Structure 1
Amino acid sequence: MADQLRIAVFASGQGSNFQALADAAVQVKLGGSIELLVCDKPDAPVVERARRAGIDAWVFTPKDYASREAYEAEILAELQRRGVGLIVLAGYMRILTPVLVEAYAGRMINIHPSLLPAFPGMNAIRQALEHGVKVSGVTIHFVDGGLDSGPIIAQRTLDISEGETEAMLADRIHAAENVLYPWAVRAIAEGRVSLNGRRVSLDAAVDFGEYEASADK
């Protein structure tokens, strides 16, 4: 039997997506094991979530290093030591350099609270509301070094209601993220996702049904 995919989650804040991934792993619904949390903020709540889940955390303070490349080189060495095969960015608020992006090309994914390529970058939910769009949602994509520009793996659409506030929409988007991200990681871990240039293909056996039902609750 092949070894499970070893996963590292990168996060900087509250860690709701980290928790969703950790919970899925406990329920044997992730398709792999979370080997490590990488966090750039020692006091971030996600660090405590990792402790409670029994997941090791590699926590660092960026200002202690001469450059982004310097701390990413240390992170890369730790990932390689642990045999990590997939990096999952879950609210990691640091710009990545080629040190990690190139080493994990096609093996690093991110989640973004809009329907990319619309509204990349910071404050995507606010951008969508200010623009007056009627539909927003969630995008999971491979990381390619650009600003939320990598090949798209999956998206979930959400209608925007009249008078919906940023906080209201954020709550719904985050709930959808918490369901879609574990599903996508599992699809990758099971070898059901293939990347060819900018085209991402999903195996026909991938079932959205459970995801759709859970996200609509």
Structure 2
Amino acid sequence: MTASIVVLVSGSGTTLQALIDACADPGYGVHLAAVGADRDGIEGLARAERAGIPTFVLRVADYPSRADWDEALATRVAAYDPSLVVLAGFMKLTGEAFLARFGGRTVNTHPALSPSFPGMHGVRDALEHGVRVTGCTLFVVDAGVDTGPIVAQRAIEVRDDDTEQTLHERIKAVEREVLVDAVGRMVRDGFTVEGRRVRLGRTPTGR
């Protein structure tokens, strides 16, 4: 039976589209069970609906507290029994309740080579620092901001004429490739998180 993923989005869903396209190929071996969002009316949800994928929306403003929203999000995602949760441009930090259920099997991307330049402005910060090489990082989500164990990274040269926009566009193109490749491998072949190391493939005991 093909293992499932749930993808959470907040915006246009270009990374989601890469996963939708990949999951349409039976050889990829991953079923995209649902797409969730923290806001209505976004293109990410429209992409999922056009592909016939179930969607749901949980807005923080509709809950008494952020913790209540986090608990509701965890419950809703759990209904699809995913092997992996993918944050694809999801602009909310997951909290204790969510990590209690999905810690160790939720992944996110960051447009820099972690641990450098964490936070919302990784591309801008790298440019301002004057680095000659930056890139993207896929990591297992923990309670910090872009601090989780690293699954995969890809380096990208910074050009002399780069702006934040041009650099970010090149990073995003590579980011999608890295995410699709790694998510497929994690779901098909399994993975383990041992401290700061993520090992793809099942252990000799089959775990």
TM-score (norm 1): 0.89
1:212 is matched with which residue? Answer: none
Residue 204 (structure 2) aligns with = none
Corresponding residue for residue 130 of structure 2: 132
Matches within 5 A, 1:18-167: 18-167=16-165
User: Relative to structure 2, which stretch is displaced further, 139-148 or 68-77?
Assistant: 68-77
1:6, 1:19 → 2: CA distance? 16
Residue 70 of structure 1: SS of its match in structure 2? helix
Task: Supply the AA of the counterpart residue of 1:92.
Answer: F
Tell me which amino acid in the other structure corresponds to 1:72: D
Partners of 2:18 and 2:89 in 1: CA distance: 13
The CA distance in 1 between the partners of 2:34 and 2:69, in whole Å, is: 16
How many Å apart are 1:29 and its aligned residue? 4.9
Partner amino acid, structure 2, of 1:17? T
3-state SS of paired residue (1:71): helix
Shift, 1:74, TM fit: 2.1
Q: 2:18–2:176: 8 Å Cα contact kept in structure 1? A: yes
- 1: CA distance, partners of 2:192 / 2:172: 26
- 1:78 Cα deviation (Å)? 2.2
Off by >6 Å, runs of 4+ in structure 1: none
Indicate the residue corresponding to 2:205 in structure 1. Answer: none
Deviation at 1:96, TM superposition (A): 1.3
Aligned to 2:187: 189
Contact 2:58/2:73 (8 A) holds in 1: no
User: Which shifted more, 167-176 or 191-200?
Assistant: 191-200
The whole-number CA distance in structure 1 between the counterparts of 2:5 and 2:186 is: 11
d(CA) in 2 for partners of 1:129, 1:166: 7
* RMSD, matched Cα: 1.5
Report the TM-score when normalising by structure 2.
0.93
Q: Could you tell me which amino acid in structure 2 is paired with residue 86 of structure 1?
A: L
Distance 1:107 1:192 in 2: 10
Q: Tell me, what secondary structure is at the counterpart of 2:33? A: strand
CA distance in 2, matches of 1:30, 1:100: 27
What percent identity do the matched residue pairs reach? 37
1 CA distance for matches of 2:9 and 2:70?
14
Please tell me the residue identity of whatever aligns with 1:102.
Answer: A
**Distance apart, 1:77 and its partner CA:** 2.0
Corresponding letter in the other structure for 2:39: K
8 Å contact from structure 1 (residues 18, 46) kept in 2 = yes
> CA separation in 2, counterparts of 1:30 and 1:67?
39
- Unaligned 5+ residue runs, structure 1? 204-217
User: Which of 173, 176, 179 is equivalent to 2:174?
Assistant: 176
CA distance in 1, matches of 2:27, 2:76: 25
Cα distance in 2, alignment partners of residues 15 and 61 from structure 1: 17
The answer to whether the 8 Å contact 1:40/1:59 transfers is yes
Structure 2: which amino acid aligns with 1:38? Answer: G
CA contact (8 A) 1:87 1:109 kept: yes
